[in-house]
Amino acid sequence: MDITDSFSSHRIIGSGGYAVVYKGLLHRNGIVAVKRLSQTAVINEKNFRQEVQSLIGVKHENVVRFLGYCSETQENVIKLDGNVMFPEDRQRLLCFEFMPNGSLDKYINNDVSIGLDWKTSYRIIKGICQGLDYLHQQKIIHLDLKPENILLDHCWVPKIADFGISKRFAENQTRAITSNPRGTRGYMAPESLDGNFTLKSDIYSLGVIIIEMLTGCKGYPDIQNVLDHWKTRSLEKSQGDAWVEQIRLCVVIGRECIDPDPTKRPTIQRIIGRINEMDLIYGLTETHASLERHVSLVSSGIRKPLDVNPLELRFPWEPNKPTEECTVTLTNRTGRHVAVRITPAEGICWSPSLGTSFQPMEPHSTLALHIRMGKQSQGPPETGKLEVLMVLMASKEHLGKLLKSVEGLLDMEDKSDSILERVKSLGGQVHRELLMATTYNPACYQQQAVIHNDDQKFIPTSEFERVRSIDVHPMETWVLAGHDCGHVSIWNYQTQEMVMVFNIIEEDCEYGCGISRVQFIAEEQWFAAGDYGGWVHVCAYNIRDKHVAVVHKFQAHIDERISALARHPTKSLLMTSSTTDFSSIKLWDWGQGWVCTQEFDGLKGGVHILTFNPRETSTFVCASRSSKETEFKVWDIHCSDKKFSIFEEKSSCPSCSFYTNSYQHFMVTSGQRGRRSCAVIRNTQTGELVHQLAVYGWSIFDLACHPTLPILATTITDFREDIYQICLWDARTYR
- Please give the annotated binding residues for ATP, written as ranges: 35
Q: How far apart are CA 557 and CA 530, in angstroms?
A: 10
Tell which wins on pLDDT, 565 or 400. Answer: 565
Pairing mode of beta strands 312-316, 429-440:
parallel
Residue among 450, 316, 327, 317 nearest 697 (CA): 327
Q: Phi-psi category of 156—alpha, beta or left, where left has phi over 0 and alpha has psi -120 to 50?
A: left
Average pLDDT over every residue of 630-635? 77
Residue 301, judged by CB atoms within 10 A of its CB (0-12, 13-18, 19+), counts as exposed
Lowest mean pLDDT segment, chosen from 78-87, 189-198, 455-464 = 455-464
Q: Which residues of 329-365 are buried (b: 16+ CB within 10 A; e: fewer)?
A: bbbbbbebbbbbbbebeeebebeeebeeebbbbbbbb
Average pLDDT over every residue of 164-190? 80
- pLDDT bin (cut points 50, 70, 90) of residue 572 is very high
pLDDT tops 80 at residue 712: yes
pLDDT tops 60 at residue 651: no
pLDDT tops 60 at residue 1: no
Residue among 35, 253, 41, 58 nearest 142 (CA): 58
- Tens-place pLDDT, residues 116-154: 888 889 999 999 999 999 999 888 898 899 999 999 987
Task: Kindly report the backbone phi and psi dihedral angles of residue 620, in degrees, each rounded to the nearest multiple of 5, phi listed first.
Answer: -140, 155
pLDDT tops 90 at residue 518: yes
Task: Kindly report the backbone phi and psi dihedral angles of residue 357, in degrees, each rounded to the nearest multiple of 5, phi listed first.
Answer: -85, 165
pLDDT of residue 130: 93
Report how many helices (DSSP H) and strands (DSSP E) the chain contains, helices first: 10, 45
Whether omega for the bond prior to residue 310 falls within 30 degrees of 0, making it cis, is yes
Estimate to the nearest angstrom the gap between the alpha carbon of 500 and the chain centroid.
26
- How many CB atoms neighbour CB 650 within 10 A? 11
pLDDT of residue 687: 73
Lowest mean pLDDT segment, chosen from 551-565, 569-583, 611-625, 693-707 = 611-625
Residue among 174, 161, 151, 157 nearest 58 (CA): 161
pLDDT of residue 302: 40
Class of domain 466-555 (CATH, top level): mainly beta
Is 429 strand, coil or helix?
strand
pLDDT of residue 299: 40
Is 109 strand, coil or helix?
coil
Tell which wins on pLDDT, 354 or 434. Answer: 434
- Helix (H) or strand (E) run with residue 576 in it: strand 573-578
- Please give the annotated binding residues, written as ranges: 35
- Helix (H) or strand (E) run with residue 213 in it: helix 199-215
Do the Cβ atoms of 26 and 3 come closer than 8 Å? yes
pLDDT of residue 451: 36
Average pLDDT over every residue of 625-633? 67
Average pLDDT over every residue of 15-28? 72
Highest mean pLDDT among 15-24, 279-288, 463-472 belongs to 463-472
Lowest mean pLDDT segment, chosen from 484-498, 521-535, 713-727 = 713-727
Mean pLDDT of the residues in the chain: 78
Lowest mean pLDDT segment, chosen from 87-96, 291-300, 503-512 = 291-300
Say which residues have a Cβ less than 8 Å from residue 636's Cβ, sequence separation at least 6.
618, 619, 642
Give the domain ranges of the chain: 1-98, 101-285, 304-444, 466-555
Average pLDDT over every residue of 430-447? 68
Is 723 strand, coil or helix?
strand
Class of domain 101-285 (CATH, top level): mainly alpha
Residue among 134, 137, 165 nearest 149 (CA): 165
Is 415 strand, coil or helix?
coil
Tell which wins on pLDDT, 610 or 671. Answer: 610
Q: For the chain, what is the radius of gyration of the CA atoms?
A: 29
Q: How far apart are CA 79 and CA 637, in angstroms?
A: 60
pLDDT of residue 296: 42
Q: How far apart are CA 548 and CA 607, in angstroms?
A: 29
What percentage of the chain reaches a pLDDT higher than 70? 73
Residue among 363, 352, 421 nearest 392 (CA): 363
- Tens-place pLDDT, residues 231-248: 766 454 445 567 888 898
Q: How far apart are CA 215 and CA 263, in angstroms?
A: 26
What percentage of the chain reaches a pLDDT higher than 90? 21
Tell which wins on pLDDT, 518 or 696. Answer: 518
Domain 1-98 = CATH 3.90.1150.10? no
pLDDT of residue 76: 65
Say which residues have a Cβ less than 8 Å from residue 696's Cβ, sequence separation at least 6.
359, 367, 368, 369, 370
Q: How far apart are CA 201 and CA 381, in angstroms?
A: 64
Tell which wins on pLDDT, 92 or 27. Answer: 92
Q: Which of 117, 144, 153, 702 is catalytic?
A: 144
- Tens-place pLDDT, residues 253-305: 999 999 999 999 999 999 998 888 777 666 554 444 444 444 444 443 444 66
pLDDT of residue 10: 66
Average pLDDT over every residue of 401-430? 67
Say which residues have a Cβ less than 8 Å from residue 671's Cβ, sequence separation at least 6.
630, 649, 651, 652, 653, 654, 677, 678, 680
- pLDDT bin (cut points 50, 70, 90) of residue 521 is very high
Q: What strands, in cross-sheet order, belong to the sheet with 699-705? A: 457-460, 723-730, 711-718, 699-705
Do the Cβ atoms of 64 and 97 come closer than 8 Å? yes
Q: How far apart are CA 721 and CA 676, in angstroms?
A: 17
Whether 730 sits among the annotated catalytic residues: the reply is no
pLDDT of residue 450: 36
Do the Cβ atoms of 666 and 660 come closer than 8 Å? yes
- Tens-place pLDDT, residues 320-351: 666 667 888 899 988 888 888 887 655 555 55
Residue 55, judged by CB atoms within 10 A of its CB (0-12, 13-18, 19+), counts as buried
pLDDT of residue 449: 37
Lowest mean pLDDT segment, chosen from 211-215, 268-272, 700-704 = 700-704
Domain 304-444: CATH architecture, name and number where available? Sandwich (2.60)
